[in-house]
């Protein structure tokens, strides 16, 4: 029978309490990259796990488009604001209710609040911004102002209307 090791992002088992403990270098690197010295939650390698969704930002010829993976975030728990050229996306994902007496062998999904800000170019049309949430993916579309969009300039032949000498 395989030995199951309980992994919890909020508390990493220490070698003294778990004889099957193995140092996971990826988890250590992740903890180091997420460390914020001003939050005061650092105690060795056991920093509290945070919900940190991933974002993609792309530019098309007529808009900027942001995709965010937000599984489990409800529409009413999501806030988007555009102030000047600063777009802020914030929200929270609630922790699932856990039944007393249930044995969890792995707890890796994080929960909590998040906030992410993007500095957008001045060419964004603030009146036309739209957002849609579908299957846990948020899509924000920020159209460009018409004068900022590239336009094609036609090259024509000169008519040759000059007088002959």
Integer Cα distance of 42 and 40 in angstroms: 6
| Residue 11 pLDDT level (bands cut at 50, 70, 90) | very low
What's the token pair of residue 14?
């220490």
Percentage with pLDDT > 90 across the chain = 38
Q: Is 139 helix (H, G, I), strand (E, B) or coil?
A: strand
Q: Please give the pLDDT value at position 4.
A: 47
Beta-bridged to residue 66, according to DSSP, are 57, 140
Whether the model pTM is above 0.85? no
Residues 42-81: pLDDT tens digits? 444 444 457 889 999 999 999 999 999 999 899 999 999 9
Integer Cα distance of 89 and 54 in angstroms: 12
Query: Is the Cβ–Cβ distance between 10 and 109 less than 8 Å?
Result: no
Query: Is the Cβ–Cβ distance between 106 and 49 less than 8 Å?
Result: no
Residues 25-41: pLDDT tens digits? 887 887 788 776 665 55
The whole-angstrom distance between residue 11's C-alpha and the CA centroid of its chain comes to 24
Secondary structure string (H, E, C) spanning 142-156? EEECHHHCCCCCCCC
For the 51-95+106-146 domain, the top CATH level (class) is: mainly beta
* Contacts for 35 with CB less than 8 Å, ≥ 6 apart: 42, 47
Q: Is 107 helix (H, G, I), strand (E, B) or coil?
A: strand
Q: Please give the pLDDT value at position 77.
A: 92
Residues 120-160: pLDDT tens digits? 998 899 899 999 999 999 999 999 988 766 777 788 876 55
Q: Please give the pLDDT value at position 118.
A: 93
Dmax (CA) for the chain in angstroms is 104
Integer Cα distance of 28 and 49 in angstroms: 12
CA 51 → CA 38, 58, 74, 91, distances in Å?
Answer: 18, 23, 14, 10
Burial class (CB in 10 A: 0-12, 13-18, 19+), 53: middle
Higher pLDDT, 43 or 112: 112
Residue-range domain boundaries for the chain: 1-49, 51-95+106-146
């Amino acid at each position: 029978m395989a030995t199951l090791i309980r992994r919890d992002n909020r508390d990493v088992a220490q070698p003294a309490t778990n004889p099957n403990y193995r140092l996971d270098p990826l988890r250590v690197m992740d903890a180091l990259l997420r460390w914020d010295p001003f939050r005061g939650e650092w105690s060795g390698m056991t920093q509290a796990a945070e919900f940190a969704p991933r974002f993609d930002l792309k530019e098309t010829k007529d808009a900027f488009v942001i995709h965010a993976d937000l599984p489990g975030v409800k529409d009413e728990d999501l806030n988007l604001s555009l102030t000047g050229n600063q777009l802020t996306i914030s929200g929270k994902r609630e922790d699932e209710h856990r039944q007393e007496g249930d044995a969890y062998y792995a707890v890796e999904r994080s929960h909590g609040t998040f906030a992410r800000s993007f500095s957008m170019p001045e060419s964004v049309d603030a009146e036309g911004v739209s957002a849609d949430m579908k299957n846990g993916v948020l899509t924000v579309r920020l159209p460009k102002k018409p004068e900022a969009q590239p336009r094609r300039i036609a090259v024509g032949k000169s008519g040759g209307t000059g007088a002959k000498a």
